[in-house]
Amino acid sequence: GAGVSQSPRYKVAKRGQDVALRCDPISGHVSLFWYQQALGQGPEFLTYFQNEAQLDKSGLPSDRFFAERPEGSVSTLKIQRTQQEDSAVYLCASSRGGVSGSSYEQYFGPGTRLTVT
Amino acid sequence: GNSVTQMEGPVTLSEEAFLTINCTYTATGYPSLFWYVQYPGEGLQLLLKATKADDKGSNKGFEATYRKETTSFHLEKGSVQVSDSAVYFCARSGNTGKLIFGQGTTLQVKP
């Protein structure tokens, strides 16, 4: 079946522009995660959804970052007034289980590479 | 700060050499532990996992054992191949099931 897809794959934004990154999880997956991966680093957690509920947004670096998953499927990560330090690869992952399923495998999308100039 | 620490890379080995990539973690309680791999041009994929102390995860000839006493989850393979060249990430589960990753270790295997 189809895996996790993300779009766009590459995005170049001028500093101060708003961007929206889309994630299509695996159908039927309850959990959806967003991560930010800076060059040469491991992914860092941004936010977590269980169905349409955003249960954890502790990793969002500032109030310029906003995520939603209104129907419990597709999710959008929005970054307002982008800054150069926002340049990174943004990864989306989905998994079958809910909050208690910490052992469930997370399936990652290919990522969106954001470059802010 | 990051609560998963991996050995720094790059690690360069000849084909058929033995591989160890060290990983230690800090956590309260007993998290699940994972190794993810990122092949060139591809997305992150799960390599193996262990969910409780003394569990051994294994896949594609790779193994890692959950050592509670040393808070470690070292990745090993007896005989690496050129096709194993990739970036390897150790991770532990956090609350709400999120993953907390190490910084990654690049493995280069030369023929």
pLDDT digits (tens, 9 = 90+) for A83-114: 999 999 999 999 987 665 555 789 999 999 99
- Residue contact A110–B43, C-beta within 8 A: yes
- pLDDT tens sequence across B37-49: 999 888 899 999 9
- pLDDT tens sequence across A2-32: 899 999 999 999 999 999 999 999 999 999 9
Residue B7 in this model has a pLDDT that exceeds 70: yes
- pLDDT tens sequence across A54-87: 999 999 999 999 999 999 999 999 999 999 999 9
Contact (Cβ atoms closer than 8 angstroms) between residue A40 and residue A94: no
Q: What is the mean pLDDT of chain B?
A: 93
Shortest distance, CA B98 to any CA of chain A (angstroms): 7
Q: What is the pLDDT of residue B30?
A: 85
Pairing of β B62-65 and β B19-21: unpaired
Shortest distance, CA A71 to any CA of chain B (angstroms): 20
- Residue contact A35–B102, C-beta within 8 A: no
Q: What is the 3-state secondary structure (H, E, C) of B8-33?
A: CCCEEEECCCCEEECEEECCCCCCCE
- Residue contact B93–A102, C-beta within 8 A: yes
Q: What is the pLDDT of residue A8?
A: 97
Neighbours of A64 (CB within 10 A): 14
To which residue do tokens 């499927």 refer?
A73
Mean pLDDT of B97-107: 94
